[in-house]
Amino acid sequence: MRRAVLLAGGWAHPGHDQVAAVSALLAERSFETRVVRDPADVPATLDDGCDLLVVAACWFSMTHERYTDEQRRDHAVVFSPALDQALAKLRNQGCPVLALHTAVICFDGHATWADWLGATWNWTTSWHPQPGPILVEPADETPIEFPAFTVLDELYQGLDLAAGADIVAHAEGHPLVWLQSTESGRAAVNLLGHDHQSLAEPNHRQLNGQLLDWLLRN
């Protein structure tokens, strides 16, 4: 059976909703899912074998001035050389990655994570309003077809997006979902997925399933 490694949890996002929703989609595709909630456990888990990496965690250094010393003490993640090496090795092996919601904030100390996903959170320009209804619309040309739908979620915007990203969906002019293909493999990024209500919306669930199918396509 193929193995997926699912990274979850972190600042303001416990990850329970993402774990339940994604694990169900992976089980439908005959994956055994290994859930990792501690960054320190990632290198050994990846070394045990990983056919698909799913990141729904919110692990980052919290160096921005908006965070207090207490918040940094309790939640900041300083990445070890072992974690950097494990991620680099996985990418070089061509492992596909599904990045959900806070994944674009993750691994801010890792040199190639933003390049892997085709985008990164910019602490000067990136932000999101409070959760509200979002009309998700498909891009004009995309290998993934789905109907427009409305979901209650956080609308991430103002990210630094690579020019080569293949946009799948947008809302109010902001890219929401995109695909990234490089010589090192494939990545699919979905900025939605804040909680169970969003992930369980039927069209959103179908979209995430299609992203997985695209990643796993030979």
**What is the DSSP-derived secondary structure letter of residue 40?**
G
Q: What is the pLDDT of residue 16?
A: 77
Query: How much is the average pLDDT of 76-89?
Result: 89
**What is the DSSP-derived secondary structure letter of residue 78?**
P
Each domain of the chain, given as residue ranges in start order, spans: 2-216
- The model's pTM is 0.95
Q: Is the pLDDT of residue 205 over 70?
A: yes
Q: Is the pLDDT of residue 218 over 70?
A: no
CA 166 to chain centre: 16
Q: What is the pLDDT of residue 109?
A: 74
Q: What is the DSSP string of 136-162?
A: EEE-SS-SS----EEEEE---B--EE-
% of residues, the chain, pLDDT over 90: 76
Report d(CA 72, CA 11) in Å as an integer: 10
Q: Is the pLDDT of residue 93 over 90?
A: yes
User: For residues 95, 99, 103 and 109, what is the CA-based torsion angle, rounded to 10 degrees?
Assistant: 20
> For residue 172, what are the contacts with CB-CB under 8 A and spacing of at least 6?
134, 135, 155, 157
% of residues, the chain, pLDDT over 70: 98
Q: What is the pLDDT of residue 17?
A: 78
Q: Is the pLDDT of residue 124 over 70?
A: yes
218 or 119, higher pLDDT: 119
- Using DSSP's 3-state secondary structure scheme, residue 3 falls into strand
Report d(CA 107, CA 60) in Å as an integer: 6
Question: Which pair of tokens denotes residue 67?
Answer: 């965070």
Which pLDDT band holds residue 132 (cuts at 50, 70, 90)? very high
Q: What is the pLDDT of residue 174?
A: 97
CATH topology of domain 2-216: Rossmann fold (3.40.50)
Q: Are 128 and 172 in contact (CB under 8 A)?
A: no
- Using DSSP's 3-state secondary structure scheme, residue 107 falls into coil
Q: What is the pLDDT of residue 133?
A: 98
> For residue 60, what are the contacts with CB-CB under 8 A and spacing of at least 6?
10, 11, 76, 77, 105, 106, 107, 108, 109
Q: What is the pLDDT of residue 18?
A: 84
Average model confidence (pLDDT) across the chain: 93
Q: What is the pLDDT of residue 163?
A: 85
Q: Is the pLDDT of residue 130 over 90?
A: yes
Q: Is the pLDDT of residue 14 over 90?
A: no
CB atoms within 10 A of CB 8: 25
Q: What is the pLDDT of residue 13?
A: 74
